[in-house]
Amino acid sequence: MSDESVPSTPRRFSRTFLAGAIGVLVAGIVGYSALPRRSGDVVERPMVSVYGSDSLVLDVRGMFCESCESTIQAMLKQTPGVVHAKASVKSGTTVVQYDSTRVSPQAIVDVITRLGYIATIRKTPRSAS
């Protein structure tokens, strides 16, 4: 009797493989639900507050595409003391969450300026006291 005539048994998947596949599926579904529903929608997620961090809004001129956004975000995230950065070509702004004991607002502006953009710190109105 040759091996070809023996019916093959179904292959069983390990629990680790199945758990990983289910995890990927769930992550995909959760990630998909956070995507914009139409091409013009913008999904804004609030920045997570980190103890000891400050936020800074910069007006950035010279951004023309998503590549510009990515470049600014990547360089800021490599800057020691920057916790989070989100650039938006549509609004012409960059929001940066940073540790004020490690980096100054001017140093953040300088990073963007070295990339060839014009960045200015947005003045926020003071609350009446």
Q: Would you place residue 23 in the very low, low, confident or very high pLDDT band (cuts 50, 70, 90)?
A: low
Q: Is the pLDDT reported for residue 34 higher than 50?
A: no
CATH number of 53-121: 3.30.70.100
Domain residue spans in the chain?
A: 53-121
Task: Extract long-range pairs of 43-47: CB within 8 Å, 24+ residues apart.
Answer: 47/84, 47/86, 47/95, 47/97
- Indicate yes or no: pTM above 0.95: no
Mean pLDDT of 2-8: 57
- Using the structure block, give the residue that is written with the tokens 């490690």: 102
Q: pLDDT tens, 64-94? A: 999 999 999 999 999 999 999 999 999 999 9
Supply 80's token pair.
Answer: 């020691």
